[in-house]
A and B are shown apart, each in its own frame.
Chain A
Amino acid sequence: MTRLIPTEHELHAYVDERLEPARRAEVEAWLAANPQEAVRIEAWRADARRLRAALAGFGERPSDPHLDLAPLRRRLRQRRQRRLAAAAVLMLALGLGGIGGWQARQVTLFAGMLPMADAVQAHRLFAEASTLDIEARDPARLQAWLGTHFNRVGRLPDLAGYGFQPVGARLLSNEAGPAALLVFEDRQGQRISLFLRSPGEHFERMPTGQRTDGQLEARYWSHGDYNFALVSAVDDTRGEQLRQALGVSL
C-alpha cells in the first residue's frame, strides 16, 4: 500500500491544495492516522497563512498614476500612433524627397537648358549667315527639302501674307537629334527662323511658351512628332501672328 504513503512533494501539494480530490482524501486519511506528520504539515499551512496575512497589504501604496490602466492604454495608443505617424512621416519624406528630387532635377536641367535654347542659338549662328544648306526662295522647294529630312512634318504655311519669303534652310544636329533651321526674310531684310526638331529627352512634353533671350523672342510649342520654335526680333510685332499661322499648319 505504498500508494497510500504520501511523498514529501505530495504533502506540499496538499498544503497548496494542488492535489486531485481523490488523492487529497487519501492524504487527509493518512494524516489523520499520523498525527506527528499532521502537526508538521499543519505548521507549514500556518506559516503560509501567516505570511499571507502579514503581506496582505504589503507594498500597497497610493496608486501610481504612471501605471494606471487608462494612462497606460493612452500611452500605448500614443506609442502606436507615434509609430504610425513616424511611418507616415517616413513615407511622406520619401514621397516628397522623390517628388522634390524629381522637381529639383527638372529645375536644374531647366536652369542649364531653357526650352528650345538651341533654336535661339541656331538663329544667332545661322540666320544671318550666307551659308545655308540650301537656298530656297521657292516655298515648295523648302517643303520638299523638309520632307526628306523630317517625314512627319506638316505643311509649311505661306508666310508671304505676313511679308516673309523663304531664304533657305540648314540641317543641324545636337544631342536631341537632327534639327532644321528654316530662315525667312521680309523686304527690309529682317529675318525670322523656324526651328524644329524631335522632342529632346528633357522637353518631351514641352509646354507652349514664349521667352525673351537678349534681342530675340522665342515662341515655342509642341505638335505632332516635333518641337517648334519661332525666333524673331523682340520688337517684331508680326511674331505672334506668324506663330499662330505656323502653329495651325505644321
Chain B
Amino acid sequence: MHDLDDQQWRELLQRLRRFALWLTREPGTADDLVQATVERALSRRGQQRDADSLRPWLFTILYRLFLDGKRRERLHARWLAWFGRGQAEEPAGGEIESIVLAQADLQAFARLSPEQRALLLLVSVEGLSYKEAAETLGIPIGTVMSRLSRARAALRELTEGNPAPPALRRLK
C-alpha cells in the first residue's frame, strides 16, 4: 500500500466497497467488511507483494472475511432458531434496493446467487484473471469456469425474462 497514491487507493477502496456491497447487500455491513479488510491487510503487510497483486489479494481477504461472517451468521441463526426466535431476516439495504429497482440490469444481477455475483463481479467488472478469481474465492480454476458458465447463462435468462428499459438511469 506504500506505492499507491491517494487517488489509486480511493479507487481501490471503491472497488472493495462495491464488491462488499454486492456480497452483503447491506451498506453498513459492507463498510465494516471493507474496514476489516484494510485492517487485516495492514496487519499482514509482510505477505504483500507488488502493486499488481495487491488488488486480488485485498479481494481475497475481503471474501474470506465475508465467508467467516456468513458462517457466524448461520451459526447465530441456528442458535436463534433453537431458542425459538425464528430465522433472522436477511437485511435489505435501502441503497442497494433503490439502485436495483432503478436498473433492470441490476435486478437480474441481484437475483443471482451470492457465489455467482461474486464471480461475475471479479471477472467481468473487476477484470481479475481466472486464476486470481479462483484464489480470491478459494475454489479450483475448473470450478471458476463452470460457475462462470452457469452464472452467465442464469443472468441471460433473467435478463431476457425482464427486458432492459432503453435508458439507464441511476437513482441516488
The chain A residues found within 8 Å of chain B, CB to CB, are: 8-9, 12-13, 16, 18, 43-44, 47-48, 50-55, 57-61, 63-64, 66-70, 72-73, 76
The residue in A54, A59, A60 that gathers the most chain B C-beta atoms within 10 A of its C-beta is A59
Name A7's closest neighbour in chain B (CB-CB): B145
Whether the pair B42, A72 counts as a contact (CB closer than 8 A) is yes
User: Are B9 and A69 touching (Cβ within 8 A)?
Assistant: yes
Q: Which residue in chain A gives the minimum CB-CB distance to B21?
A: A59
Q: Which of B31, B148, B164 contacts A50 (CB 8 A)?
A: B164
Cross-chain contact A64 with B4 (CB below 8 angstroms): no
Quick one: CB contact mask for B113-131 with A, threshold 8 Å, 1 for yes?
Answer: 0000000110111000110
Interface size range on B against A? 35 or more
The 8 tightest CB contacts between A and B, nearest first, are: A59-B18, A48-B124, A69-B9, A59-B17, A50-B105, A9-B145, A54-B105, A59-B21
Cα A151 to Cα B2 with chains together (Å) = 74
Asked whether A54 and B21 contact (CB < 8 A) given A12-B149, A66-B35, the answer is no
Which residue of B has the minimal Cβ distance to A43?
B156
A-B contact count (CB 8 A): 87
Which chain B residues (33-58) contact chain A, with CB distance < 8 Å? 34-35, 38, 42
The verdict on B76 contacting chain A, using a C-beta distance below 8 Å, is: no
CA–CA, A219 and B25, complex, Å: 87
A-B contact pairs, 7 of them (CB 8 A): A16-B130, A18-B129, A54-B109, A58-B18, A63-B10, A64-B31, A73-B2
B124, A52: Cβ atoms under 8 Å? yes
Question: Which residues of the partner chain B approach A12 to less than 8 Å between Cβ atoms?
Answer: 145, 148-149, 152
B6 within 8 A of A: yes
| Distance between Cα atoms of A44 and B124 in the complex (Å) | 10
A174 to chain B, nearest CB (A): 61
* Interface pair A72/B145, CB less than 8 Å apart: no
In contact, A68 and B6 (Cβ under 8 angstroms): yes
Question: Taking the nearest CB of chain A, how far is it from the CB of B89, in angstroms?
Answer: 23
Is there contact, CB below 8 Å, between B6 and A67?
no
Kindly report which residue of chain A lies nearest to residue B107, judged by CB atoms.
Answer: A54
Whether A61 and B156, one on each chain, are in contact in the complex, defined by CB atoms closer than 8 angstroms, is: no
Q: Known contacts A12-B149, A61-B17; is A69 also within 8 Å of B30 by CB?
A: no
Residues from chain B with a CB closer than 8 A to the CB of A18 are 129-130
| Residue of A8, A50, A64, A76 with most partner-chain B CB within 10 A | A50
Chain B residues whose C-beta falls within 8 Å of the C-beta of A8 in the assembled complex: 145, 149
Contacts of A64 on B, CB cut-off 8 Å? Answer: 13, 31
Whose C-beta in chain B lies nearest to the C-beta of A48?
Answer: B124
User: With A54-B105, A54-B106, A70-B6 given, is the CB distance from A47 to B155 under 8 Å?
Assistant: yes
Interchain CB contact under 8 A, B125 and A52: yes
Smallest distance from the beta carbon of B169 to chain A beta carbons, Å? 10
Contact in complex: A47, B6 (CB < 8 Å):
no
Q: Assess the B103–A54 pair: CB atoms within 8 A.
A: yes
Known: A9-B145, A44-B156. 20 other contacts (CB 8 A): A8-B149, A12-B149, A13-B130, A16-B130, A44-B152, A47-B105, A48-B124, A51-B109, A53-B168, A54-B103, A58-B99, A59-B17, A59-B18, A59-B21, A59-B30, A63-B13, A68-B10, A69-B6, A69-B9, A72-B38
